[in-house]
Structure 1
Amino acid sequence: MQIEVLKSKIHRVHVTEANLDYVGSITIDKELMDAAGIIAGEKVQIVDNNNGERLETYVIEGPAGSGCICINGAAARKVAVGDIVIIISYGIMDFEEAKTFRPSVVFPDTATNRLIR
């Protein structure tokens, strides 16, 4: 049996941009992507702590070290600049593998969206 489980999460970053006039997606600082094990084009769920919205989109790589979290396209109507969001990716794996799998969870500095070193 295959099940869907948490693969990675970027916990509590603030939205730095919302670009309605874009094809779609979320742009994420490459350092955050790498730390969480998220790749460009990967499907993610965005959870907005400020208003309760949940949406799915795909990832675009942003400049490393920029702290960029930009909501693009129609999703920009659901998430505002300054909102605190959680970015979640899931993986599908064998039930037995899932029992021992450990997701990558990143807790960046909420004020800067940068990794805490």
Structure 2
Amino acid sequence: MRRTMLQAKLHRVKVTQCELDYEGSCAIDDDLLEASGLLPLQKIDIYNVNNGERFSTYVIRAERGSGVISLNGAAARKAQNNDILIIAAYVEVEEAELPGFAARLVYVDGQNRIKSTASEIAVQPAAGWGKAAE
């Protein structure tokens, strides 16, 4: 059996530009690509935190250290500059590979610079979660 697993996530990156008259894609700072393991031409899903849009496109490389997250072509209609995005990629994993499998999660600051990385999502309980009912 194969399962579709989260391979990589860029968490809460900020859109730096939208280029409608450009071949469709998402340009991502090469530092973020390296940290996440995303590759040019790889399919990605984008979740816009500001407006709820969810769409797919592919990666192109942006200048290392630039902080660029550029939505190009039709994708430029799905966000505005300064919108907050979650960019995710998924991979098919054989059941036998699951014990050693780990996602690559990248967390950024307000300028799309890497703050931290992780291999699993830390669950933060909601207020009151786990308390016995009175």
Task: Pick the TM interval, shorter chain.
Answer: over 0.9
Paired with 1:50 and 1:73, the residues of 2 have a C-alpha distance of 20
Q: CA deviation at 1:78?
A: 1.0
Paired with 1:44 and 1:4, the residues of 2 have a C-alpha distance of 14
Identity between Structure 1 and Structure 2 (%): 44
Which residue matches 2:20? 20
1:82 correspondence with 2:82: yes
Tell me the SS of whatever aligns to 1:45: strand
Question: Does structure 2 conserve the Cα–Cα contact (< 8 Å) formed by 1:12 and 1:108?
Answer: yes
TM-score by length of 2: 0.83
Paired with 1:17 and 1:99, the residues of 2 have a C-alpha distance of 39
Give unmatched runs, 5+ long, in structure 1.
none
* Aligned residue type for 2:62: G
Paired with 1:35 and 1:10, the residues of 2 have a C-alpha distance of 9
Question: Does structure 2 conserve the Cα–Cα contact (< 8 Å) formed by 1:50 and 1:83?
Answer: yes
Paired with 1:92 and 1:82, the residues of 2 have a C-alpha distance of 32
Q: CA deviation at 1:102?
A: 1.0
Count how many residue pairs are aligned between Structure 1 and Structure 2. 116
C-alpha RMSD over aligned residues: 1.1
Give unmatched runs, 5+ long, in structure 2.
117-134
Paired with 1:37 and 1:76, the residues of 2 have a C-alpha distance of 24
Which residue matches 1:38? 38
Give the number of the structure with larger relative contact order, counting CA–CA contacts within 8 Å between residues 6 or more apart. 1
Structure 1 runs of 4+ off > 4 angstroms?
Answer: none
Question: Does structure 2 conserve the Cα–Cα contact (< 8 Å) formed by 1:5 and 1:98?
Answer: no
Question: Does structure 2 conserve the Cα–Cα contact (< 8 Å) formed by 1:26 and 1:59?
Answer: yes
In terms of Rg, which structure is larger?
2
